[in-house]
Amino acid sequence: MLWGERFKEKLNSKALKFSSSLKFDINLLSEDIEGSIAHAEMLAAVKIISNEEREQIVEGLKKIEDGWNCNAWSPDPEIYEDIHSAIESRLFELIGNTAGKLHTGRSRNDQVATDLVLWIRKNSSFIHKLLSEFQKTLLEISSGNTETLIPGYTHFQRAQPVSLAFHLLAYIEMLERDKARFEFVKQSVNQCPLGSGALAGSTLPLDRNLTSKKLDFTGPTGNALDSVSNRDFILDFLNACSIGMMHLSRFSEELIIWTTSEWNFIKLADSYTTGSSLMPQKKNPDMAELIRGKTGRVYGNYIAFASTMKSLPLSYNRDLQEDKEPLFDSFSTYSDSLEIINGMLQTAEFNKDRFVEELNGDFSLATDLADWLVQKQIPFREAHKIVGNLVRKFESERKNFKSATLNDLKSVSPAFDETALKCLNMGTALRRKKTSGSPNPADVKERIDFWKKRLI
């Protein structure tokens, strides 16, 4: 134990097991060693330890990391309560009593806070990279489908025709916002907590600016009390994972629907689907279903830790040990989901002609017809009423827009003329869009070019 000298008895074995965090904070091993090396170098720079002692400590720490990486050393969770005590104990084994000088001017409070911000910074960048890779996959599919017609929906009812490219570009926009959230998280951990001590700094002449520079921070944190108890950046990270998973879940829902026989729009590769233990014919989109399902767990991680934080007095409390499990779980779930859904899309096959005939003649161009009336100086509300009456007439007669004649239109309103029938041509429906951000193929191609340049 790092703190056992004032106690007459050892910690109860069940209490040690209950309080141990080694099984999950071992994920911070590299960050803990990185921070410890910077701390040792700073201690030598301000003459608290000698250069020889610094070299011993740094060499020992590197051996510990190498031993972990090659499976030559693994700390026993039955003995150590966390990764910090395990590393320090191993350092004593390697270099003797000099190891005891490493913790000079440092508490586990500022030590773990530093480990966490280093981990968050690294893995926010990793997720940013995965998001960009997924965007590139969607962009590649979009490039070949600017005129692939699919129905656009509101209220899960067919609304207006769009293109597959237009639909996928919507997800690229979502993913870009996800990237911005992780960039925000990175910016929020630009200051180094190391040197804050347990809560009130140190009487030793520590050079916090030097430590910050060695760890590539913009500078030290400004208040030791806040530094050791701040976990806002973890909540920000968990929130970013939650919103990111929500976006993947929405897309997964659509993939699941698109794979059904009723939609018959997409085929997922065998490598991303599973069968049935009973029904030999089944090919199930289980990976998409799992992403949709795991979203709830990621939501739960955010709520769980936010609940932990809500009534903690300053500064550090052991409750904060509960920050790591939801953090690591959300990260692994979200990053795995990104890689899985990217693989699904890279190997998927789209039925590009699926909706060509089905959309041709349905009522999804009703708004276009109302817009035509508006251009004839008819107020939109009146135009809306006219076209609504026309749709009702056609439905009662079991007809659709494909068979519409000028007489059909004029039977509802004399304002219609021959040019109105052009509004019911599905083949030109997308090209007639005039506003930016619409599914007009020219506009979509322009947006694709924008993303190609941005995602290089």
Contact 55, 81 (CB under 8 A): no
The fold of 109-197+230-355 is Fumarase C; Chain A, domain 2 (1.20.200)
Give kind and range of the element (H or E) at residue 426: none
The pLDDT of residue 6 is: 64
Residue 3: pLDDT band by 50, 70, 90 thresholds? low
Round the average pLDDT of the chain to a whole number and report it: 96
SS3 state of residue 437: coil
Q: What angle do CA 375, 378, 379 make, to 5 degrees?
A: 110
The pLDDT of residue 20 is: 87
| pLDDT tens digits along 25-71 | 999 999 999 999 999 999 999 999 999 999 999 999 999 999 999 99
- From residue 123, alpha-carbon distances to 117, 203, 267, 373 in Å are 10, 34, 33, 55
Percent of the chain with pLDDT over 70: 98
Sequence spans of domains, the chain? 4-104, 109-197+230-355, 357-454
Residue 4: pLDDT band by 50, 70, 90 thresholds? low
The pLDDT of residue 85 is: 94
The fold of 357-454 is Ribonucleotide Reductase Protein R1; domain 1 (1.10.40)
| pLDDT tens digits along 226-244 | 999 999 999 999 999 999 9
Within 8 A by CB and 6+ apart from 318, the residues are 19
Residue 361: pLDDT band by 50, 70, 90 thresholds? confident
Residue 249: pLDDT band by 50, 70, 90 thresholds? very high
pTM over 0.75: yes
CATH superfamily of 4-104: Fumarase/aspartase (N-terminal domain) (1.10.275.10)
* CA–centroid distance for 53 within its chain: 43
Q: Rounded to an integer, what distance in angstroms lies between the CA atom of residue 124 and that of residue 140?
A: 25
Q: Average the pLDDT over 81-86 and give the result.
A: 94
Instruction: Inform me whether the pLDDT recorded for 450 exceeds 90.
Output: yes
Provide the annotated active-site residues. Answer: 155, 276
211: its two tokens? 């430590």
Within 8 A by CB and 6+ apart from 81, the residues are 1, 16, 19, 20, 21, 22
Q: Average the pLDDT over 300-308 and give the result.
A: 98
Residue 325: pLDDT band by 50, 70, 90 thresholds? very high
